[in-house]
Amino acid sequence: MEQQSPSAILLLACPDRTGLVSRISRFIFERGGNILDLDEHVDTGTGMFFIRVSWSMEGVNIPPEELEEAFRPLGREFGADWTMYRSGARPRLALFVSKYDHCLQEILWRWKTGEFDIDIPLIVSNHPDLEPLAAHYGIAFHVFPVTPENKLEQEGRELDLLDEHSVDTVVLARYMQVLSPQFVDAFPSRIINIHHSFLPAFSGGNPYRQAFERGVKIIGATSHYVTSELDEGPIIEQDIVRISHRDAVQDLARKGRDLERLVLARAVACHIERRILVNGRKTIVFG
C-alpha cells in the first residue's frame, strides 16, 4: 500500500449554533493543520449539528498526543460529544461467525488485499466449521459452543478474550446468536451486524422464508449497529435486488448472499474510516 501522510479525524455532534464550522476550522488552522476533507450536517428536526473533518498532521505545531487535550475546551464550550482519531491507530476487529462463510470471506479478502487497513487478531465461532478458512489466513480461531444454559458464561469468556487482544470492534459476519445486553453494553456502537432482509421488514429469524411467503418483489440486506433490541439498531448500510414469482426460497437466499457480503463490507468500511455518527436510532454516514 502507498504510504499515507499522517492525518487526524474529528467526529463531533452538538446542538447547532452559528459559527461552528468556522471555530473548528480555525482550531485546526492555528495549530498548523491543513484540512483534507470536511462534511457537515444539521438535523433541523432536532437542532443537532454533525461534522466529520480530517486534516493533515504535517506541519502541526503541537505534539500529536496533545491534540485531544487542546481541543477539549472547545468541545466543552459546544456541549459536544466528540472523538478524535489519528492515523496509525489501526482498528482491531474480531469477527464472529457460525457456519456461513460468504461474509467472512469478503472481509478477509478485503483485509488481505490491503483495502481494509485493520488488524484482525481473532475469529470467534460457536461451531468449528470455518477453522480451516481462518488457518488459511493465519488468524487465531476460537470456538465457544453456546447453549441456553452456558450462554452468559461463554460470553464472559469471549469478552475476556476480546479485552486480552485489545479489540475495539466486533463484526457479526452471519453469527447466528443473539447477544446478551451485557455483551452489547461492553461495545456500544461498536458491534456491526448483517441481517438478511431490508429492515425493518422481516426482522428476526428466517427472513427469506418470510419474504417468499409474502410474495415480495425485492429482497434486501441491512447492516446495523447492535443494540439490546433485536434487529433494531441504527442502520449503517442497505441494498436490494429484484426477485420474481419464479424464485424459490433457495433462490432468494442465493441472491441475498451477494447482497449480505457487500452490504456488510460497505458498513465495515464506513466504520473503520470513521465516517459514522450515531444519532439516536439513526446514523449520520458521511460520504
Given a contact cutoff of 8 angstroms between Cβ atoms, the answer to whether 130 and 99 are in contact is: yes
43 catalytic? Reply is no
Residue 184 included in any domain: yes
Task: Return the C-alpha cell found at 122.
Answer: 481473532
pLDDT at residue number 127: 98
Classify residue 275 by its DSSP letter: -
- 66 and 168 housed in the same domain: no
* 20 and 56 within one domain: yes
Strands 119-125 and 140-143: parallel
Q: What is the DSSP letter of 168?
A: -
Domain with 174 in it: 92-285
The verdict on 148 and 279 lying in the same domain is yes
* Range 81-108 average pLDDT: 96
Q: What is the CATH number of the domain that holds 124?
A: 3.40.50.170
Interior/surface letters 180-208, b for 16+ CB within 10 angstroms, e for the rest: eeebbebbebbbbbbbbbbbeebeeeebb
In this prediction the pTM is 0.94
CB 263 within 8 A of CB 193: no
Asked which of 54, 86, 118 is the last residue of a domain, the reply is 86
Residue where one domain finishes, among candidates 86, 117, 136: 86
Residue 1, in any domain of the structure: no
Least confident range of 1-5, 139-143, 207-211:
1-5
- Within this chain, do residues 96 and 79 fall inside the same structural domain, yes or no? no
Q: Each residue of 34-83: pLDDT tens digit?
A: 999 999 999 999 999 999 999 999 999 999 999 999 999 999 999 999 99
Please check whether residues 60 and 112 belong to one and the same domain: no
Output the pLDDT for position 2: 44
Same domain? 45 vs 96: no
CB 146 within 8 Å of CB 154: yes
Q: Is residue 22 part of a domain?
A: yes
**Rounded average pLDDT over 99-107:** 98
pLDDT score recorded for residue 205: 82
User: What is the tens place of the pLDDT at every residue in 120-179?
Assistant: 999 999 999 999 999 999 999 999 999 999 999 999 999 999 999 999 999 999 999 999
Cell triple for residue 125?
465461532
Bridge partners for 55 per DSSP: 8, 35
Higher pLDDT, 88 or 52: 52
pLDDT at 1: 39
Query: What total of structural domains would you count in the chain?
Result: 2
Q: Residue 5: pLDDT above 90?
A: no
Tell whether 99 and 197 lie within a shared domain: yes
Give the list of residues 6+ apart from residue 208 with CB closer than 8 angstroms, or none.
Answer: 196, 197, 219, 249, 252, 253, 256
Active-site residue, from 39, 101, 231, 258 = 231
**98 and 208 part of one domain:** yes
Q: What percent of the chain has pLDDT over 70?
A: 99
Q: Can you tell me the mean pLDDT for 231-260? A: 95
Which residues contact residue 115 at a Cβ distance below 8 angstroms, ignoring those fewer than 6 apart? Answer: 269
- Same domain for 35 and 144: no
Q: Which of 245, 242, 222 is nearest to 234 (CA)?
A: 222
The mean of the pLDDT values for the chain is 96
Say which CATH number the domain at 31 has.
Answer: 3.30.70.260
Whether 2 is in a domain gets the answer: no
- pLDDT of amino acid 187: 98
Q: Are residues 25 and 101 in the same domain?
A: no
Q: Are residues 263 and 166 in the same domain?
A: yes
**pLDDT reported for residue 160:** 98
pLDDT at 280 over 80: yes
Of 25, 60, 86, which residue constitutes the final position of a domain? 86
Looking at residue 70, its pLDDT comes to 98
**What confidence score (pLDDT) does residue 204 get?**
86
Q: What pLDDT is stored for residue 254 in this prediction?
A: 95
The answer to whether residue 3 scores a pLDDT higher than 60 is: no
Q: Are residues 106 and 160 in the same domain?
A: yes
**Quick check: helix, strand or coil at residue 227?**
coil
